[in-house]
Structure 1
């Protein structure tokens, strides 16, 4: 059933409690999620986005129970990704002549994914508007690379609602819909995780887009994203967070990430953590074994950190494959203004530290010279180097 957001605007999406992964298996879902679609019923009736394909039939039945589909005058496709457009094909079978408003790139996206069906596309760009009656308009704002080239947001005048699509969202199931009803700790955690793992590579664009939205001088009473809670209580708080997160964000935190074969590298990781509290008592220190911890949760902690230490034993003249995959992911997120150090054990050749340092430099980290390279198992002289390493990172 539809649920009121404000006046004649309703939520008509899907709360996805059972969802465990997203983007294939590349993003972990620990607290459920939602696909948020919205229905605006003024003189004209407008559907803003749909839901993921696995829920398309339930979505359609729900929509039919609330409204005659033939009364939908316009469909807004803010983003062509399948979690927002997955029910569109089935919907358009029922109302094939309904105009679809989207960006030029969204036409490419939708036709590329679902084929060319002759849909009545209306291409819009930033500043274009659509009159929906009762003195209200929809104003479109392109949001390129937040996080696809086809993305846009839609603003409803008079009600002052920004339908922001993937920007300002979270993978977080909130049955009560609104941010003031959500668990605040989980809400903020999931919002940061979403930014760190999905939007951080586009941070320079985020800063520019926030400035552009502010420059439009549009009053915003509600921000309605396509995942997670709808921001109605102090909605600009999430915009302020994005503004801060987009500027090479860091807290006073130090994160140690490692993998180990026979526990030698693990012992060094734990010693580094211990020394870090001596060198910088107020710094938050966290330690993760990448083979046992969730990679997206780790990346959120790296996002918060001003420095990291990364460890792997040498194997096959290189590093462990688990660490190599994690470093590839790290590089793709384009973190900035963070220090790093490396450590690890070796038996025969010892190239691991060099490989780690090179990979971290290519990922944009300032890698310090201090490192710990232990032959076989760490001894006292290896552990004693942990103080110098942490001082180079934290002082």
Structure 2
């Protein structure tokens, strides 16, 4: 286990780096860079533990923590968020110090009780509530539905540290731990992926919360999230990115996602791309076979895009499974205002185009074409039709 790391003279990271974790939320989210479970120890006249770690590391983490501090010296535990990746070691910890009070939101208590039971001493807090820890106070800010209903942040004035929970984090199991000590390209992508795949559905709430937090005029010198690196070098850079990302973010990009059986739908995707490129050479085009690429990576690129095309051949009166799963994922993240259309190939039943359009009609994206389908395989005529479809689609992209 990585040794604990000082953030400053009185605040220490006491978490776990997990570089072997490659899937998260069950098998739903791919995290090739691993992750961290960040827990923090604040020492003043009182000692505060902020969050715990996932259950898989609970015994090892507790033994490590005992070498850092006599657990009985911990005066209170702050649970910014009770999802099991942050609260999993709480049960083991409370067996050691059962009378230690837990500070959390009302919903946080409900979640802890649902997962673990236990008759703990809860102190329910809301935005603006404070606890006196000696020379400083710890201030709480509710962040409901970012991304669970119990979520909150904690702020340590004087040190100007924001314990931001899942906001401003990323799944990056970097041993360097601080944002100025890691590969910046990996960090940037993992931050974007984390936002796109987890926080996008809550963008409107996040926008209001960022304005609310901004209105508190908090000086922020360090941001300590619950996953990934600690932001100490220009920490507001990630806040500024969130401000852009939560406001219907789009770049001059088009994603064409498809699944194919005998390459006909793939050929359609390539021809449609050729047509788009003729009309809008300024656009970056990305083609993804949804059966051969991570759904999360595709959704991340879709998040950045202003337009998306979805394609599938027909199979058994439906669409191919990877495309069905991708569409479900897209509906879940609730993209807005993006220009979309569908395409697909078929043999004796062209139903895939109808189904794709039905699914797109359930989203808040803008369906601008009825779509195009090709029977069996492309020839010169149908290839030109696909290119023309791409040309017309390109004209709809602002």
Alpha-carbon distance change, 388 to 366 in structure 1, aligned in 2, over 3 angstroms: farther
1:183 corresponding residue in structure 2: 183
1:120 corresponding residue in structure 2: 121
Q: Which deviations, in whole Å up to 9, do the C-alpha atoms of 1:203-233 show, x marking residues without a partner?
A: 0001000001001111111110000011111
Q: Where do 4+ consecutive residues of structure 1 move more than 4 Å?
A: none
d(CA) in 1 for partners of 2:120 and 2:304? Answer: 44
1:224 corresponding residue in structure 2: 224
- Aligned-residue offset at 1:371: 2.5
> Residue 252 of structure 1 aligns to a residue in which SS?
strand
- Aligned-residue offset at 1:370: 5.2
Written as runs of structure 1 = structure 2, the 5 A alignment for 1:224-243 is 224-243=224-243
1:320 corresponding residue in structure 2: 320
Instruction: State the TM-score, normalized to the length of structure 2.
Output: 0.97
> Residue 339 of structure 1 aligns to a residue in which SS?
strand
2:59 corresponding residue in structure 1: 57
d(CA) in 1 for partners of 2:246 and 2:183? Answer: 24
d(CA) in 2 for partners of 1:361 and 1:7? Answer: 55
1:348 corresponding residue in structure 2: 348
d(CA) in 2 for partners of 1:311 and 1:30? Answer: 27
- Aligned-residue offset at 1:388: 3.1
Structure 2 unmatched ranges of 5 or more: none
Q: Which deviations, in whole Å up to 9, do the C-alpha atoms of 1:171-227 show, x marking residues without a partner?
A: 001211111111111111000000000000000001000001001111111110000
- Aligned-residue offset at 1:330: 0.8
Alpha-carbon distance change, 7 to 392 in structure 1, aligned in 2, over 3 angstroms: farther
- Aligned-residue offset at 1:7: 2.5
d(CA) in 2 for partners of 1:268 and 1:378? Answer: 8
Q: Which deviations, in whole Å up to 9, do the C-alpha atoms of 1:251-290 show, x marking residues without a partner?
A: 0000010001111111111222233222211211111111
On the 8 A contact 2:271/2:387 being kept in 1, the answer is no
> Residue 198 of structure 2 aligns to a residue in which SS?
helix
Instruction: State the TM-score, normalized to the length of structure 1.
Output: 0.98
On the 8 A contact 2:319/2:352 being kept in 1, the answer is yes
d(CA) in 1 for partners of 2:40 and 2:198? Answer: 23
On the 8 A contact 1:172/1:227 being kept in 2, the answer is yes
- Aligned-residue offset at 1:15: 0.4
1:16 corresponding residue in structure 2: 18
2:158 corresponding residue in structure 1: 158
> Residue 244 of structure 2 aligns to a residue in which SS?
helix
2:45 corresponding residue in structure 1: 43
- Aligned-residue offset at 1:349: 2.2
On the 8 A contact 1:370/1:388 being kept in 2, the answer is no
d(CA) in 2 for partners of 1:393 and 1:107? Answer: 50
d(CA) in 1 for partners of 2:48 and 2:290? Answer: 46
On the 8 A contact 2:275/2:389 being kept in 1, the answer is no
1:200 corresponding residue in structure 2: 200
On the 8 A contact 2:274/2:387 being kept in 1, the answer is no
- Aligned-residue offset at 1:392: 3.4
d(CA) in 1 for partners of 2:318 and 2:307? Answer: 23
1:332 corresponding residue in structure 2: 332
> Residue 77 of structure 2 aligns to a residue in which SS?
strand
On the 8 A contact 1:370/1:389 being kept in 2, the answer is no
Written as runs of structure 1 = structure 2, the 5 A alignment for 1:1-395 is 1-115=3-117, 117-134=118-135, 136-369=136-369, 371-395=371-395
d(CA) in 2 for partners of 1:380 and 1:228? Answer: 51
d(CA) in 1 for partners of 2:165 and 2:392? Answer: 42
Q: Which deviations, in whole Å up to 9, do the C-alpha atoms of 1:126-152 show, x marking residues without a partner?
A: 000001112x11000001110000000
On the 8 A contact 1:372/1:382 being kept in 2, the answer is no
Structure 1 unmatched ranges of 5 or more: none
The two structures, once aligned, show a CA RMSD in angstroms of: 1.1
> Residue 228 of structure 1 aligns to a residue in which SS?
coil
On the 8 A contact 1:332/1:363 being kept in 2, the answer is no
d(CA) in 2 for partners of 1:70 and 1:376? Answer: 72
